[in-house]
Chains A and B, each alone.
Chain A
């Protein structure tokens, strides 16, 4: 056992022993590792953490970080160090769909705050919280490169732009009826403009 990666959180050795990527994910991991020169496989840590987050319930538990470390043959702390630096990695459980609403200048100028308030009221949650049914997490984020089509939100790999209250209603209804977890790595992204 390579040990504990996050002092504050409980490390469950049994859970760790059961973790395993699907065959498809493992295949992707192998192609990713080949992108780098001999001995530089540590470069794969971010792409593989994205896969781990998608495979293991949308967040990076101490166990999954330990698992990623074992695949790359690096120390668990090297994985935690990276995971804790980047805003797209969740170190705590989140809802199936994280609605990430941009709050920066151009979006604010075009009404992003109203969109946030609308979602807060509609889902009865505050920024950073998850709805009671575990379906949605609301998160305000910084500029996502859709400033010309503001306001906007991202969910998984999909960008939803030029938001209005009606569009938000539809987006939420669609995700709800689909009922699936949305990940950045999804191939079936559905952007709406």
Chain B
């Protein structure tokens, strides 16, 4: 069994309540930080831990914290990114729903390190019921003296609030999130300035993912060096993986970074193999934005080495033969799956979610969806494959935020690794979708 630091208590009855969470050692990191450490010492432990942002980009958290501008007399903010809308990703929801105090505790310890006296958790609107769970937990934390004025008799005070969104993937992009939190449309800002200098209400701000903030708790409790002992190279610690698709045991798994992808897919401890005795065809390893890989390349790198669940190993080979760990949204597809149709669902998603500020993204996502739609209704021809390739290649690096390229990468990868499937549909002038047959426990026929 791998070591677990975030959801080790997931099956303890009542762990969502303050009493049980506290009995299991909860809020120790707040005590330790406020009573025995300076804010900078907390940041140093986070640096030593090697923790990298769990929201998708994998930027070193300690380094990000050290960039925070600290002008006198100006408030600083910590904003937790609980927007979780990258298709295939549901780990933050799981953590917040099962162990809400883990996030609250992380928010308090992290806010102390950053010198923030007001912090927000921005959660996607669809997770309204999770926001209720968090609000109850926050109330319990106030009642027990972990939030509010002069926490533990110190001169540190913190107020923590939950802000709900209203349905917009783009609000997961940190500057769009800040715009939304300011009560505006979620249009990403042009950078620089970065949030560390001018973020929420123009004040220095750190935005971190739910899982990143929760990881600060074990880092402070056990020390950064202890955390860094887990993992391989620059991929330290544990990671929550959301596993979905055609596997026997979908769900959220906490893994030690560094386990082989093959073990993750086939071992009983994790996904338990492919369902219905089918063979694996392809995997999207880190949420919809990362390149899809065929079985041979997800299990082994192009050099023939076993692919590991680390930032470095998954990206080995660049986009030609590799992919990314991303948000940890791991989607497995069996041999009957149409890669083109799967791509269509992604293209439709990105078109729907583009904020529309930049022409390459607004128009490009629209065109990609439109062309893929032609494949779906059997009117595409072979030249459309090249057209699709051409469009995706004209988005990357030409937009305000990374959504544009996040929309282009899946298209590029699907064509790169599964071009024949596109050509077959174009040649036969029809698309037969067998991929979803027998997925449901059908007791009645729909059509």
A: residues with CB less than 8 A from B are 35, 37, 40, 42-47, 49-50, 78, 81-82, 85-89, 103-106, 108-115, 117-118, 121, 141-151, 154, 157-159, 163-166, 184-185, 187, 189, 191
- Given A87-B168, A148-B251, check contact A166 B443 (CB 8 Å): yes
B288 (CB) vs chain A CBs: closest residue = A105
A85 (CB) vs chain B CBs: closest residue = B185
In the docked arrangement, what's the CA distance between A86 and B85, Å? 13
Task: Known pairs A35-B161, A191-B129; list 17 more (Cβ under 8 Å).
Answer: A35-B120, A35-B163, A47-B163, A81-B184, A86-B167, A86-B168, A88-B125, A88-B126, A104-B345, A106-B244, A109-B244, A109-B246, A114-B436, A141-B167, A145-B93, A147-B87, A148-B243
- Given A85-B185, A109-B435, check contact A145 B85 (CB 8 Å): yes
In the complex, per-residue mask of B242-263: 1 if CB is within 8 Å of any chain A CB, else 0? 1111100011100000000000
Question: Is B352 a contact partner of A142 (Cβ separation < 8 A)?
Answer: yes
6 intermolecular pairs with C-beta atoms under 8 Å apart: A50-B164, A111-B436, A148-B242, A149-B250, A157-B129, A185-B128
Question: Is A164 a contact partner of B441 (Cβ separation < 8 A)?
Answer: yes
Query: In the assembled complex, how far is the CB of residue A171 from the closest CB belonging to chain B, in whole angstroms?
Result: 15
Question: Among the listed stretches B303-311, B317-325, B329-337, B384-392, which one makes contact with chain A, having 4 or more residues with CB under 8 Å of it?
Answer: B329-337
A119 (CB) vs chain B CBs: closest residue = B446
Question: Is B168 a contact partner of A117 (Cβ separation < 8 A)?
Answer: no
In the docked arrangement, what's the CA distance between A106 and B180, Å? 27
Q: Is B22 an interface residue (CB 8 A)?
A: no
Identify B345's interface contact among A46, A50, A105, A166, CB under 8 A.
A105
- Given A109-B435, A142-B169, check contact A148 B250 (CB 8 Å): yes
In the docked arrangement, what's the CA distance between A40 and B120, Å? 14
Q: Is B346 an interface residue (CB 8 A)?
A: yes
Q: Is B1 an interface residue (CB 8 A)?
A: no
Question: Is B439 a contact partner of A109 (Cβ separation < 8 A)?
Answer: yes
Question: Is A145 a contact partner of B126 (Cβ separation < 8 A)?
Answer: yes
Query: In the assembled complex, how far is the CB of residue B330 from the closest CB belonging to chain A, in whole angstroms?
Result: 10
In the docked arrangement, what's the CA distance between A42 and B349, Å? 29
In the complex, per-residue mask of B283-297: 1 if CB is within 8 Å of any chain A CB, else 0? 010001000000000
A165 (CB) vs chain B CBs: closest residue = B444
Using Cβ atoms and an 8 Å threshold, which residues of chain B touch A163?
Answer: 440
Using Cβ atoms and an 8 Å threshold, which residues of chain A touch B342?
Answer: 105, 108-109
Q: Is B399 an interface residue (CB 8 A)?
A: no
Q: Is B90 an interface residue (CB 8 A)?
A: yes
Query: In the assembled complex, how far is the CB of residue B342 from the closest CB belonging to chain A, in whole angstroms?
Result: 6
Question: Is B129 a contact partner of A37 (Cβ separation < 8 A)?
Answer: no
In the docked arrangement, what's the CA distance between A191 and B93, Å? 14
Using Cβ atoms and an 8 Å threshold, which residues of chain A touch B127?
Answer: 145
Nearest 9 CB-CB pairs, A to B?
A86-B166, A87-B167, A111-B439, A88-B167, A147-B244, A42-B183, A148-B250, A143-B87, A111-B440
Question: Is B337 a contact partner of A82 (Cβ separation < 8 A)?
Answer: no
Identify B353's interface contact among A112, A115, A142, CB under 8 A.
A142
Identify A109's interface contact among B84, B337, B443, CB under 8 A.
B337
Q: Is B88 an interface residue (CB 8 A)?
A: yes
Query: In the assembled complex, how far is the CB of residue B252 from the closest CB belonging to chain A, in whole angstroms?
Result: 7
In the docked arrangement, what's the CA distance between A45 and B164, Å? 11
Interface core residue of A42, A89, A142, A187 (most chain B CB under 10 Å): A142
Query: In the assembled complex, how far is the CB of residue A182 from the closest CB belonging to chain B, in whole angstroms?
Result: 11
Question: Is A121 a contact partner of B447 (Cβ separation < 8 A)?
Answer: yes
Question: Is A45 a contact partner of B124 (Cβ separation < 8 A)?
Answer: no
Question: Is A145 a contact partner of B89 (Cβ separation < 8 A)?
Answer: yes
Query: In the assembled complex, how far is the CB of residue B217 from the closest CB belonging to chain A, in whole angstroms?
Result: 22
Question: Is B242 a contact partner of A45 (Cβ separation < 8 A)?
Answer: no
Query: In the assembled complex, how far is the CB of residue A100 from the closest CB belonging to chain B, in whole angstroms?
Result: 8
- Given A43-B163, A86-B165, A109-B245, check contact A145 B84 (CB 8 Å): yes
Using Cβ atoms and an 8 Å threshold, which residues of chain A touch B440?
Answer: 110-111, 114-115, 151, 163-165
Identify A184's interface contact among B84, B92, B128, CB under 8 A.
B128
Question: Is B129 a contact partner of A47 (Cβ separation < 8 A)?
Answer: no
> Which residues of B58-93 are within 8 A (CB) of A?
75, 84-90, 92-93
Query: In the assembled complex, how far is the CB of residue B207 from the closest CB belonging to chain A, in whole angstroms?
Result: 16
In the docked arrangement, what's the CA distance between A108 and B183, Å? 33
Using Cβ atoms and an 8 Å threshold, which residues of chain B touch A40?
Answer: 182, 201
Q: Is B341 an interface residue (CB 8 A)?
A: yes
> Which residues of B129-188 are within 8 A (CB) of A?
129, 132, 161, 163-169, 180-186
Query: In the assembled complex, how far is the CB of residue B186 from the closest CB belonging to chain A, in whole angstroms?
Result: 6
Question: Is B183 a contact partner of A43 (Cβ separation < 8 A)?
Answer: yes
Question: Is A46 a contact partner of B118 (Cβ separation < 8 A)?
Answer: no
Q: Is B11 an interface residue (CB 8 A)?
A: no
Using Cβ atoms and an 8 Å threshold, which residues of chain A touch B90?
Answer: 145-148
Question: Is B125 a contact partner of A50 (Cβ separation < 8 A)?
Answer: yes
Question: Is B182 a contact partner of A109 (Cβ separation < 8 A)?
Answer: no
Using Cβ atoms and an 8 Å threshold, which residues of chain B touch A109?
Answer: 244-246, 331, 333, 337, 342, 435-436, 439
Query: In the assembled complex, how far is the CB of residue A122 from the closest CB belonging to chain B, in whole angstroms?
Result: 9
In the docked arrangement, what's the CA distance between A50 and B337, Å? 38
Q: Is B442 an interface residue (CB 8 A)?
A: yes
- Given A121-B446, A142-B352, A147-B244, check contact A105 B88 (CB 8 Å): yes
B83 (CB) vs chain A CBs: closest residue = A145
Query: In the assembled complex, how far is the CB of residue A161 from the closest CB belonging to chain B, in whole angstroms?
Result: 10
Using Cβ atoms and an 8 Å threshold, which residues of chain B touch A37?
Answer: 75, 118, 201
Identify A82's interface contact among B164, B185, B244, CB under 8 A.
B185
